[in-house]
Amino acid sequence: MRRALRAADVGTVLLKGGPARLPDDVPPRFKPGDLVVARNINPTGHTRLPRYARGRRGVVDRDHGVFVFADASAMGRGKKPQHLYSVRFGARELWGPQAAARDVVYIDLWDDHLDPG
Amino acid sequence: MNGIHDMGGMHGLGPIEREENEPVFHHAWERRAFALNMAAGFLGEWNIDMSRYAREQMPAAEYLATSYYEHWLWSLERLLVDKGLLTQAEIDARLAELRKRAVK
């Protein structure tokens, strides 16, 4: 039988949300401070790696923990649990000399988006 | 996917409009479109990442010419049809009926 959301439960359900955090039992490939390079991937499916960051070098700023890998989950390929990081990219690394020297972009990226830089 | 949704860093899209006391919904239909998405999502036929991917399937020209909640509605229709919960014919028939009612 399909689940149904009853009007009386809407408040409770929405406050609870649908967390994507998973048990922290997968080893991280990177740690804060590590230099990384975003993979140059162009899948026809869903990816959370923006085009402008592909092939660019960044620094792992922090490790958020283990999360559902959205790229896999969107395609019905399960949760593929792995670490999610906040990765810092310099604006000039992304967009070249026209960008402001001190601007940076933080992008949340998973292990499968990154290689050692 | 290298779709129109991935527009970070693009030029020519104009300034971001900032509204004082911005309402959560700008039109009553947006509230309904959002609620429909929540209610249908709870059926458990798809997850949040699949619904994002569904929005990315919208044809590029249509995506740029429509608003945020129109994207939500478009992707909901697509998911409902893909999962066999509705047929396109059922959606079209209901639309025709509502149009007829609106004309009266």
**pLDDT (tens digit, 9 = 90+) per residue, A43-101?**
999 999 999 999 999 999 999 999 999 999 999 999 999 999 999 999 999 999 999 99
Judged by CB atoms closer than 8 Å, whether chains meet at B2 and A45 is answered as no
**How far, in Å, CA of B41 to CA of B75, rounded?**
12
**How far, in Å, CA of B75 to CA of A10, rounded?**
22
Q: Which residue has the higher pLDDT, A1 or A34?
A: A34
Judged by CB atoms closer than 8 Å, whether chains meet at A46 and B49 is answered as yes
Find all residues with CB under 8 Å of A80, minimum gap 6, and list them: A68, A69, A71, A72, A73, A112
* Predicted pLDDT of residue A14: 84
Query: Which of the listed CATH numbers 1.10.287.980, 1.10.472.20, 1.20.1560.10, 3.30.70.1150 matches domain B28-103?
Result: 1.10.472.20
By C-alpha distance, the chain A residue nearest B37 is A5
Rg (CA), chain A: 17
**How far, in Å, CA of A77 to CA of A48, rounded?**
15
**How far, in Å, CA of A41 to CA of B12, rounded?**
26
Judged by CB atoms closer than 8 Å, whether chains meet at A50 and B53 is answered as no
CB pairs A-B closer than 8 Å: 53
* Predicted pLDDT of residue A10: 87
Could you report the per-residue pLDDT of B44-94, keeping only the tens digit for each?
Answer: 999 999 999 999 999 999 999 999 999 999 999 999 999 999 999 999 999
User: Mutate which of A1, A3, A5 to disrupt the B interface (most B C-beta within 10 Å)?
Assistant: A5
Q: Tell me, what amino acid is at B60?
A: A
Could you report the per-residue pLDDT of A25-47, keeping only the tens digit for each?
Answer: 999 999 999 999 999 999 999 99
The answer to whether the beta carbons of residues A108 and A65 sit under 8 Å apart is: no
Per CB-CB distance under 8 Å, the chain B contacts of A46 are 1, 49, 52-53, 56
Per CB-CB distance under 8 Å, the chain B contacts of A20 are 48
Mean pLDDT of A106-114: 98
Averaged confidence pLDDT in chain B: 95
Which domains can be identified in chain A, with CATH numbers?
Answer: 20-116 (2.30.30.50)
Q: Which of A4-8, B32-36, B80-84 has the lowest mean pLDDT?
A: A4-8
Smallest Cβ–Cβ distance between A51 and the set B2, B43, B48 belongs to B2
Of A55, A59, A106, A62, the C-alpha closest to A83 is A62
Q: What is the ipTM of this complex?
A: 0.92
* Predicted pLDDT of residue A1: 54
Mean pLDDT of B31-37: 95
What is the least distance, in Å, from the CA of A3 to any CA of chain B? 5
Strand pairing class (A114-116; A35-38): antiparallel
Per CB-CB distance under 8 Å, the chain A contacts of B8 are 50-52
What is the least distance, in Å, from the CA of A32 to any CA of chain B? 25
* Residue B100 pLDDT class (50, 70, 90 cuts): very high
CA angle B34, B37, B41 (to 5 degrees): 145
The answer to whether the beta carbons of residues A67 and A21 sit under 8 Å apart is: yes
Q: What is the pTM of this model?
A: 0.92
Residue B79 DSSP SS3: helix
Per CB-CB distance under 8 Å, the chain B contacts of A21 are none
